[in-house]
Amino acid sequence: MSIYDLTQLRYFLTVAETLNFRRAAEQLNVAQPAVSRAVQQLESRLGFPLLHRTTRRVTLTTAGAALAKQAGDAMQQLEQAVRNAKQIATGNAGEIILGYSAQAANGVMPELVVRFRTAFPDAQVGLYSLASDEQVGALLSGRIDIGFMLTDACKAPLEQMTIASERFVVLLSKYHPLAKRASINIADLASVPFVMGTPKRWATFRSLIDNVCLKAGFLPVVREETDDVPVLFQLLSLQRGVTLYGASIVPSLPPDLKAIPIKDGFASFNLGVAWRKEPPPLVKAFVEVARASKHVRGKH
């Protein structure tokens, strides 16, 4: 600091609050002469008196009162800044940026974000919708800190942890000829047109669907493609085809769509969280919340 140091300013503020050098020294847990000396040194540096002193009382000068008010506010902000920095360093505060795929949005991700915010109320969480494949690049470049993605999309050098396994369901219009089925085999869809996400943004999810269909002996015939889930729903409503999706989407379906369970045991996929190696404390904290939540879910 150019004209004073924080110790002198803190001693002055304590005297300004108590208007008594003895009580100020007691609060500061230092000898009274040290307090008097610090205030005198501060006045000398500033070039004007801060206190009127008599044998009976201590009062603030007009300049001293102004300094006590504004410097007091500044000291509170400085102390808060130090506390915030300490929280960030220990992983209790700061900002964490999360990316999430369309398939993760309706699953366990919202629950984990709520758990994290409850455990770390001083932390800020930013959420961005990104396809699983887009999240890989965003993680490696540092644009996001955590990715909620299909585990099949994750690659080295990223770290990852599986947090959920989802069953595929068949999504279709409630007026589709197959809509009356209570359940269905994947093989029953061999001659049915599909609506799918575009290869550019849904590459990993499409490969999962292709693999499931290949196990049933066919590759899906894709009639329509789209980048976005709302448009996907519209195309299904118009009976442009059917699609496979994670079962967690069912509560969010519009009323004109139906989800049919799949009998085949292999019709499932995994979702996970991914992060860079050697993450900062707050990212580690989120991973631990996810790990603990995973263990809790596993007991049910």
CATH number at residue 179: 3.40.190.10
pLDDT at 104: 87
Report the alpha-carbon distance of residue 191 to residue 143 in Å, rounded. 42
Q: Are 177 and 251 in the same domain?
A: yes
Domain that residue 277 falls in: 94-163+270-298
Q: Are strands 159-173 and 221-226 parallel, antiparallel or unpaired?
A: unpaired
pLDDT at 179: 94
pLDDT tens per residue across span 121-173: 888 899 988 899 999 989 988 889 999 999 999 988 999 999 999 999 999 99
pLDDT at 249: 92
Contact 42, 12 (CB under 8 A): yes
> Residue 1: inside a domain, yes or no?
no
Q: CA dist 189 to 32, 111, 174, 184, Å?
A: 88, 33, 16, 9
Q: Of the residues 32, 56, 90, which one is the last residue of a structural domain?
A: 90
Segments of the chain with pLDDT less than 70? 1-4, 80-93, 294-300
Q: Are 152 and 236 in the same domain?
A: no
Q: Are 139 and 281 in the same domain?
A: yes
> Residue 82: inside a domain, yes or no?
yes
pLDDT tens per residue across span 252-279: 999 999 999 999 999 999 999 999 998 8
pTM tops 0.85? no
Domains of the chain: total: 3
Would you say the C-alpha torsion 125, 129, 133, 134 has a positive or negative sign? Answer: negative
Conformational region of residue 39, where left means phi above 0, alpha means psi within -120 to 50, and beta covers everything else: alpha
